[in-house]
Amino acid sequence: MAQLFIKQAKQYAEARPSYPKELFQFIASKTPIKDLAWDVGTGSGQAVHSLAEIFKNVIATDTSSKQLEFAPKLPNVRYQQTPPTIPMEEFEQYISIESSVDLVTIAQAMHWFDLPKFYHQVKWVLKKPHGVIAAWCYTVPEVNDSIDSVFKPFYAIDSEPYWEAGRKWVDDKYQNIYFPFEPVEGSDDTGPVKFVIERVMRLDDFFTYLRSWSAYQTAKEKGVDLLRNDVIEKFKNAWNEDGSDEKVVKFPVYLRIGKVGNI
């Protein structure tokens, strides 16, 4: 997974959206103790700022040292590069001791994981019984009818052959992803719960976002430029239709949240 984002790490840091405060407020309301959070697959730290404002300490891990270079430096955040699979005998060295973490977060990354192995570690490191795991994804951007009509075939047809298999869980809004945890207090199930990211973007920002896709990089390595000239022109025509370069781009967010229980 880390290899998919090395070459476009800078674009990823610049173009990927941050997450709405309402998302973190909701997660925090379900997390009784706020001493330590572990942000897994942190990338360039899109979730770190908000977590650091809520939790006393944050451990933010990723397998890509290149992405971590672009993460925000904060006094209560420890960044840690990890191997793709952390042996349990080395888990304390990389992350923390057993039953010590209040919240595990995974932002737009859980679909890349070996979930049974990962969940074993999550259940080991979370405090029992109220330690919380919160995993979310955001799906494709929504702008307006004209731009969306260009984007939809670009995503569903042009880019489709170059996505890794795990992308299907994002398209599915994490509804059917394996998630063996108990509902948090006040909830009947583990979600998904919907939120929305809103970001003002120019057309160049939008293209930078598209170039940050793993599918874009995979296609490029196979000699295919997904943003070929005719596609760029279609986006330009749709984007400039109303005469304004700035657009509000919406990214629907889908959260799965649960507590570890007494396992």
List, for residues 162-189, the tens digit of each pLDDT value: 999 989 999 999 999 999 999 999 999 9
Side chain identity at residue 147, one-letter code? I
Q: What percent of the chain has pLDDT over 90?
A: 84
User: Which neighbouring-strand residues pair with 193?
Assistant: 255
Other Cβ atoms closer than 10 A to 222: 9
The residue among 53 and 12 whose pLDDT is bigger is 53
| Residue ranges of domains in the chain, CATH in brackets | 1-143+165-199+250-259 (3.40.50.150)
Torsion angle, alpha carbons of 40, 45, 46, 48, to 10: 80
Other Cβ atoms closer than 10 A to 75: 6
Give the separation between CA 198 and CA 252, rounded to whole angstroms: 9
Condensed to tens digits (0 to 9), the pLDDT of residues 216-263 reads 999 999 999 999 999 999 999 999 999 999 999 999 999 999 999 987
Long-range contacts of 200-206 (CB under 8 A, 24+ apart): 200/246, 200/247, 200/248, 200/249, 201/246, 201/247, 201/249, 202/245, 202/246, 202/247, 203/235, 203/236, 203/239, 203/240, 203/245, 205/15, 206/141, 206/143, 206/235, 206/239, 206/247, 206/249
pLDDT over 90 at 17, yes or no: no
Instruction: Give the pLDDT confidence score for residue 194 in this predicted structure.
Output: 97
Helix (H) or strand (E) holding 125: helix 115-125
